[in-house]
Structure 1
Amino acid sequence: MAPVDTEHSKTSAAENTISVGAMPVHDSSVNAMRHKEESVFRLKAEGKSMDCIAQEAGVSRSTVTRILRYVERASAG
């Protein structure tokens, strides 16, 4: 069995990780969530229903509600 280059593996993992609060999050998961949020905003702007937005964005109805509520609170001040 070939030896594993652990030093390279640790560096790669660190390069692909960012910190959100106290918990590290991988870039890919952040990008995936950002893409879903953008989809929710776009579909809402198109006048789609909550159920339609959830289905098309690939998230639950409660996630759609949470995303939209967050934006409403942020814009309120």
Structure 2
Amino acid sequence: MPVHGELFDTPGGEPLVSLGLISIHHPSVDATRHKSEVMLRMKADGRSIDDIAREVGVSRSTVIRLLRYVERAAAS
């Protein structure tokens, strides 16, 4: 089944097909990835969930969700 989407040129000149999702090269994806890495480093350093949430600027539930996701992925 063919996938229908719009074709865009990226700043690097290579084409990108939009399927209505955010590109993996979008700045917001990079920012989210960076925040996730910071949260994981802070947890590895022994910081509390409340400290991590406050410093990174996300909710406590976001920190818990990320840590659970990583824990499940590591168990697989």
Tell whether the structures are fold-level matches, with TM greater than 0.5.
yes
Runs ≥4 residues deviating over 4 A: none
Count the aligned residue pairs: 66
Partner of 1:71: 70
Letter of the 1:11 counterpart? D
Q: Rg larger in 1 or in 2?
A: 1
Question: In 1, Cα distance between the equivalents of 2:9 and 2:55?
Answer: 36
TM-score (norm 1): 0.69
Partner of 1:58: 57
Partner of 1:42: 41
Taking only aligned residues, the RMSD between alpha carbons, in angstroms, comes to 2.7
Give the C-alpha shift of residue 23 in structure 1.
1.7
Partner of 1:4: none
Q: Which runs of 5+ in 1 are unaligned?
A: 1-9
